[in-house]
Amino acid sequence: MAFTRAAGKHRRPGRIHRTTARAAGVATLAGTGVMGTLAAVPAQAAGTTAEQTGLTPVVSIGDSVAEQIDAQAVAQQQAADEKAAEEAARNAAARAAAKERAAEVRAAREAERRRLNAFVAPIAHSYVSTGYRTGGSLWSAGTHTGVDFHAAAGTAVHAVGSGTVVSAGWGGAYGYEVVIRMADGMYTQYGHLSSIGVSAGERVTPGRQIGLSGSTGNTTGPHLHFEARTTPDYGSDLDPVAYLRKHGVNV
């Protein structure tokens, strides 16, 4: 007599059916990327047979994997936040450095502008020995058209400000002379030089040595004859001391 298994919804699934279900669950885990994480879970159930596992251990392992994924996500977010903060700090430092360099460039330009616009005395540590418009037979015009600065022969003579050399050479009664067109449009003249150190067309800056004092031309002894003029020519003179003081030089 043949026996058959009673049909019904509570019938225990066969071995093939259970194995197929587990394979489908594993495939699902592999498709979601969890299988790589499962490999790191302690093999506490390595010795457990397939008949003893069922669904309950699988659910427990899934919870552990989810916790690990959450922890990894938190760690990755923290790393991303730290990287973003470091990048922001580097950008802020770069902007600050660029701002500082720009400020340094502006300061250097301003310092150079002030230097080029500054004025100095034609002879350092000297004084006016003969004043402007002093009368006497020593001058062909009847009066002194400039001022004389006390200076021993060979003393350095400096351009009083920025400008361009108009002429440099023999000037008759002035001996060896230099005439400079100043940046403000005025002209300065340096006479009785023993030697000249610049040429016509050359640009000069405040304090540039242009020659050495002497006693060439119509003179009774070594000194520097200095004039301020509205043109490069004789007869357009004005008070050179007032001109220098206007530009901050007290002589």
pLDDT score, position 56: 52
Average pLDDT, the chain: 82
Amino acid in the structure at residue 73: A
State how far the Cα of 42 lies from the Cα of 93, in Å rounded to an integer: 47
State how far the Cα of 249 lies from the Cα of 228, in Å rounded to an integer: 14
State how far the Cα of 233 lies from the Cα of 235, in Å rounded to an integer: 6
pLDDT score, position 139: 66
Q: What is the pLDDT of residues 26-64, one digit of tens each?
A: 444 444 444 444 444 444 444 455 455 555 555 555 678
The Cβ of residue 147 has, within 10 Å, a number of other Cβ atoms equal to 25
Instruction: Classify strands 176-182 and 163-170 as parallel, antiparallel or unpaired.
Output: antiparallel
Percent of the chain exceeding pLDDT 70 equals 74
Range in 3-17, 141-155, 196-210 with the lowest mean pLDDT: 3-17
State how far the Cα of 138 lies from the Cα of 143, in Å rounded to an integer: 8
More confident residue, 9 or 96: 96
Burial of 132 (0-12, 13-18, 19+ CB in 10 A): buried
To the question of pTM greater than 0.85 for the whole model, the response is no
The number of angstroms, rounded, from the C-alpha of 229 to the middle of its chain's C-alpha atoms is: 41
Non-local CB neighbours of 16 within 8 Å, separated by 6+ positions: none
Q: What is the pLDDT of residues 73-96, one digit of tens each?
A: 999 999 999 999 999 999 999 999
State how far the Cα of 201 lies from the Cα of 182, in Å rounded to an integer: 12
pLDDT score, position 237: 96
